[in-house]
């Protein structure tokens, strides 16, 4: 069963917001140790939750939206989500740090591209996009990039 493409914009914006929050929270962190120690691990725990959210949401995208994301990236996102959710204590913090610092920018570019294309070709609802722009939830998304 494929997921409803009418929900893709909602999921993509949610994943983009989660990703941008992670980048904001970790912008001054330059090592795995700093990530683990910052604010009594609150930043680390927030990042894990947001990464898990991205993993949940990617599973809810339609096949059309998933076609814009490299399959190995989808598998990596799902794998990270599964490690966070099912093996929290055994989670390798270096992998988490490396993911945050090296993998999020290309993923962000992918999400932005899919959203932009969906708006241009009118596969995303303009009213839903306008509602998202005025929502307080999407605090970190610059909607002018679309």
Band of residue 3 on the pLDDT scale cut at 50, 70, 90 = confident
Inter-axis angle of helices 93-102 and 71-86, nearest 10: 140
In the chain, pLDDT over 70 holds for what percent of residues?
98
In this predicted structure, the answer to whether residue 54 has a pLDDT above a threshold of 90 is: yes
Q: How far is CA 130 from CA 29, 86, 119, 127, in A?
A: 34, 37, 11, 5
What local confidence, expressed as pLDDT, does residue 90 receive? 82
Q: Average the pLDDT over 49-53 and give the result.
A: 98
In this predicted structure, the answer to whether residue 2 has a pLDDT above a threshold of 70 is: no
In this predicted structure, the answer to whether residue 137 has a pLDDT above a threshold of 80 is: yes
In this predicted structure, the answer to whether residue 111 has a pLDDT above a threshold of 60 is: yes
């Amino acid at each position: 069963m494929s997921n409803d493409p009418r929900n893709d914009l909602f999921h993509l914006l949610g994943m983009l917001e989660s990703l941008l929050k992670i980048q904001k929270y970790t912008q001054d962190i330059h090592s795995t140790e700093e990530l683990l120690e910052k604010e009594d691990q609150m930043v680390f725990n927030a990042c894990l939750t947001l990464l898990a959210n991205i993993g949940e949401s990617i599973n809810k995208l339609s096949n059309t939206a998933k076609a814009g994301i490299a399959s190995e990236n989808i598998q990596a996102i799902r794998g990270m989500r599964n490690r966070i959710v099912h093996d929290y204590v055994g989670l390798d913090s270096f992998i988490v740090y490396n993911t945050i610092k090296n993998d999020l920018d290309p993923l962000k570019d992918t999400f932005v591209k899919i959203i932009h294309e969906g708006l241009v070709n009118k596969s995303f609802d303009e009213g839903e996009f306008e509602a998202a722009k005025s929502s307080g939830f999407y605090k970190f998304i610059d909607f002018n990039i679309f």
